[in-house]
Chains A and B, each alone.
Chain A
Amino acid sequence: MTTPPGTDSARLVDALEGLGRALTRVRLPLELPGVETHRAARQEMLGQLDDYVLPRLRQIEAPLLAVVGGSTGAGKSTLVNSVVGRRVTEPGVLRPTTRSPVLAFNPSDKAWFDDTRILPELARSSTASSDPHALQLVPVDTVPAGLAILDAPDIDSVEVRNRTLATQLLAAADLWLFVTSAARYADQVPWEFLKAAAERSAAVAIVLDRIPEGARDEVATHLQEMLSERGLGRSPLFAVEEGAVDEQGLLPAGDVAQIRGWLEGLAADAHARAAVVRQTLDGAVQSVARRSGEVAGGHAAQVEMVERLRADAHRSYDEALRDVAEASADGSLLRGEVLARWQEFVGTGELFRNLETRVGWVRDRVGGWFRGKPQQAERVTVAVESGLESLLVEHAEAAAERTWRSWTSVEAGKQLLEAGSGRDLGRASREFRGQAERAVRDWQQSVLDMVREEGADKRKTARFLAFGFNTLSVALMVVVFASTAGVTGAEVGIAGGSAVLGQKLLEAVFGDQAVRRLAEQAKAELEQRVGKLFAGESMRYADVLDGLGLDPADTQGLRSAAATVDRLGLA
């Protein structure tokens, strides 16, 4: 009130605004252990910054806001009416009472509450309603100037809206007037609120309401003990007996005189009032800074989980890529169907198995076969296509399944897979078979182009003409498929033999240097196409993760904003 906004407090306002922005940016979409707490904390802090901390820091001289909160049925409304001395809010028997919160203040303070300085989300109204998003303003002259009393909804009924609104209103209070009753004072829920208040050292006064006749001392003593145990021993405790209400629904003035007197005292004493405001405000700032750190930790865990899931998907597809690369180079594609077609192509299998050593002679024989059977090259091509395609499809399926398994092993991954676009991620995508087919065909085409290009200057040589493009490109594929096997000798038997034949054939046309280059080029081309194909598949997982909108930089942003607030808040 007397404290003008100095540089320190202006800097603190800036820092808190920065913290608010950092908190807004932080997203917590994954279901990790403890995320509920962090989400609630984030929401609460955002609310508290806008509803209380920032407005209070900007205008430290505004009237003191006392929020009357507590359990359903503890008699909050009756108490507010009795303290104000006028019927400003409707008490009800049916639980929980649902109506807009009521703010009572002295008409001279009207300017403070007309605008949306505090609680900007609640619409102002002058009449009673049951809309929980409205705030009913009641100027009454029986409320001392410099003090406003807000009747909040209950904190423990089945109405979830009441609970969230009460939490929001209590977070916006300079002073909590916490109302409980003789039947309720040991309930767990209110004590959780009081514990939270104690943790952020908010100013709290407790009203023990509706005490049955003659039980006052025993119950009040017990409650005082409980308060001391929980670090609220110094908070004022007011006991009000269950009494008959008058026709206006007010308790006898004597019963609430003590509370009223205390509030009037606060309103009159600027120092005491400032002390209460300072206590709650400092506590709020510190708790916001501390809890922001916790939320940042939660955000870091989210980022870590996303990275883990991303790495899982990457690993699966890398493995698939490696397997395909291996299988398409170690000669295993050259057995079964492809081998049979290839052998049909160059003659009978038996012939060649025995004649590898006499390649020179074979080469000439082969030419005859090639020329005579152009459609045979086509059949090898088709066999290669179906072999490669089934290899690709199976590895894509296996990679999807591996990723699915590793994702479902954690709760967050399971959650992503169960949501809309994640459902199909257990299998390769539907278009994959078609894409694989196209990729293989494109590769074959590019092998053909390669041969064509390489043969451009040799087009006229007799051998080249004798074999033709198709034959040479098929031979090149066969060489690629055995590129590792030919060296290691593990598969040399049948497949290697075929490859040697293809190799000799190509060397006879292009020379061995060119053949090695062509084979490498074709192999690299194949790997690049398969890589692209699998990258598309693994993209589906990346898309789901990117859709979460988690930015790793936000963790640090929030941490440093919280640190700044913490430093300035202590100053």
Chain B
Amino acid sequence: MSSVVEGAKRLVGRGSASVPDRLEALSRAAELGRGRLDDALVDSAESVVHRAAGRLALSGNHTIVALAGATGSGKSSTFNALAGVEVATVGVRRPTTSVTSGIAWGSEGATEVLDWLGVGRRHQVSRDELGPADRSLDGLVLLDLPDHDSTEVAHHVEVDRLVQLVDLLVWVLDPQKYADAALHERYLRPLATHKDVMILVLNHIDEVAPSQRKAMVADLRRRLEEDGLDGVPVLATSARHGDGIAELRALVSKRVAAKRAAAARLSADLTAVARRMQEQNGRTDPGELRRADRSELVDAFADAAGVPTVVRAVQRSVARRGAQHTGWVVTSWLTKLKPDPLRRLHLDLGPSGKELTGLGRTSVPEPTRVQRARVDTAVRSAAGRVGDQLTPVWSDSVRRASVSRLADLNDALDKAVVGTDLGVSRTPVWWRLARFLQVLLAATMLVGALWLGVIAVLGYLQVPLFFETPEQYGLPLPTLLLLVGVVGGIALAVVGKFVNGLVARGKARTAERRLRSAIGGVTDELVIAPIERELEAYAEVRRALAKAA
């Protein structure tokens, strides 16, 4: 759209600063609206942008005025009367004019303009030829269009095409035809947004009795008001007798001299299409995603990711490893026989292990249909919260965006779970200490037991003890050692189990917190970010349209 901007800059020089900006805004709105708003609407916005680009690229000194009207209403006669020369053929056979002819006033050649309009039959009134009356028409390009209501369909097509391009439309009406549906319904009503760039001429006024002329003009004005065209200038003329032609010429030359018609026309085009887009786009604010909605989403996602399973496994795994360290040596080897629950889920490797395996997959069960249903419901309600107040096009596109990335759900959740440091790889110092104590106590117990064994064997063999068994606290030392070892080991194991239980719960909570924050990231990436992108697009289209309208 760089040509738009270039052309627009030239217009800025002419003092209509807002048109180029608005054009750019419309172009942006069309770009963002594509795939969201109706294609036909976006197409028409783009064709407005395209047409405006074409018009702005042309000389700014020309004003294109078209004479349009029904067959037999005197377009060609008016054309000739304005031109002051017989350029267009006038006749009684209907329809008379079948090809658009153009006439350009002034020194500056209008070839470029007429080429753009696609008008082949041309006439140039050069500066030297300009009479004093014509001087004010310098820069005018006047077109005589074919009719819009005859049986020749090709004529309608040509009229429809040129009506979109010209800067100022002069509708030439006829007393017989001024209330025709073909004119009001097909042209005037849809062009209600363009009343600033329209003039209506009631031609053949000589055929109406003088006493009734005023009433007829008033009736026409009333009809125009019904079409939404109140305030459009209405002139009564007779091209054949020259009545009212001077006024028409003055009105046209005023518009030509102001050189504002092109900008006014483009502005009207912009307003019309931008308003239509606004209507479909809507102006309401989107709903806001509340904290509760997000946490509902995270809950559902965490559930689907198997977070409860992992957290339970963490708790059991920590408890199990704690038991291995703090448990009574005599029985703690038994726990080794049970598999580590985290290992079963392939989550036991710790950060370095994950690096080695490059974020391998977990064996956390795939989400079940119930969990998946919960995810879908949460996503749907989040999208609904945001989009329900918007117009159907946008609430639909928010909804589509919200589920657009759910295909990656399992993968993303798995990665989030694998990538989370569950905080279980480190072995606490006190575990080692407890292990050391347990071994020490076990050794004490063993020494006591062996000693007692030796005493027992020697006693059995009737071999006198070669030294006296020392006593402590009223008990023989080996017995004391055995008792201390057993009681101390069991007591330490019991205390350890209790503390481990606390630690395991703490670790489980930490793991849950970390997992949920990782899952929160997934939620943001897969659901909230797409929704927000959509909302940004909506806000931008809204802003752009507000600017363009």
Interface, chain A (partner B; CB < 8 A): 71-74, 93-96, 156-160, 163, 181-189, 191, 210, 212, 215, 218-219, 222, 226, 323, 326-327, 332-333, 335-338, 340, 350, 387, 390-391, 393-395, 397-398, 427, 494
Contacts and interface: CB of A to CB of B under 8 A. Distances in A.
19 contacts: A71-B176, A93-B208, A95-B175, A95-B178, A157-B180, A182-B94, A186-B71, A186-B150, A187-B70, A188-B150, A218-B92, A226-B151, A327-B368, A340-B308, A350-B316, A387-B370, A391-B369, A394-B373, A427-B384
A187 B182 contact: yes
Contacts of A494: 365
B180 A72 contact: yes
Interface string B386-404: 0000000000000000000
Contacts of B150: 186-188
Given A72-B177, A93-B215, 5 more contacts: A157-B180, A157-B181, A183-B71, A187-B70, A494-B365
A189 B181 contact: yes
Contact of B176 (A73, A219, A332, A427): A73
B377 A394 contact: yes
Nearest to B368: A332
Contacts of A427: 384
Contact of B179 (A158, A182, A188, A189): A158
B332 interface: no
A540 B62 CA distance: 61
B60 interface: no
Contact of A333 (B308, B365, B370, B384): B370
Interface in B72-92: 72-73, 92
Given A73-B177, A156-B181, A183-B177, A398 B376 contact: yes
Contacts of B151: 186-188, 191, 226
Given A74-B176, A185-B94, A189-B149, A397 B380 contact: yes
The list of the 7 closest CB pairs from A to B, nearest first, reads A73-B176, A186-B94, A394-B373, A183-B72, A95-B179, A332-B368, A327-B369
A225 B92 CA distance: 15
Interface string B168-190: 00000011111111101100000
B509 to A, nearest CB: 18
Interface residues of B, number: 49
B95 interface: yes
A188 B149 contact: yes
Contacts of B338: 350
A327 B370 contact: yes
A159 B73 CA distance: 20
B215 to A, nearest CB: 6
Interface in B181-202: 181-182, 184-185
Contacts of B181: 156-158, 160, 163, 189
A114 B521 CA distance: 85
B461 interface: no
Q: Which of A73, A212, A222 has the most CB of B within 10 A?
A: A73
B426 interface: no
B184 A158 contact: yes
B505 interface: no
B176 A181 contact: yes
Nearest to A191: B151
A191 B182 CA distance: 13
Contacts of B149: 187-189
A389 B92 CA distance: 80
Q: Which of A215, A326, A337 has the most CB of B within 10 A?
A: A337
Contact of A390 (B71, B92, B365, B370): B370
Contacts of A191: 151
Contacts of A158: 179-181, 184-185, 223, 226
A95 B176 contact: yes
Interface string B24-42: 0000000000000000000
B370 A332 contact: yes
A326 B369 CA distance: 10
Contacts of A187: 70-71, 94, 149-151, 182
A492 to B, nearest CB: 13
A219 B93 contact: yes
Contacts of A333: 368-370
A390 B300 CA distance: 11
A325 to B, nearest CB: 11
A83 B149 CA distance: 30
Nearest to B373: A394
Contacts of B283: none
Given A157-B181, A184-B177, A187-B149, A336 B308 contact: yes
A94 B308 contact: no
B212 interface: yes
A35 B442 CA distance: 96
A397 B375 CA distance: 13
Nearest to B189: A158
Given A73-B177, A184-B177, A219-B93, A397 B369 contact: no
A72 B365 CA distance: 80
B216 interface: yes
Contacts of A323: 369
Contacts of B380: 397
Nearest to A183: B72
Given A158-B185, A182-B92, A391 B179 contact: no
A387 B303 CA distance: 12
A387 B372 CA distance: 11
A162 to B, nearest CB: 9
Contacts of A189: 149, 180-182
B233 to A, nearest CB: 20
Contact of B216 (A93, A159, A186, A340): A93
A335 B365 contact: yes
B510 interface: no
B368 A94 contact: no
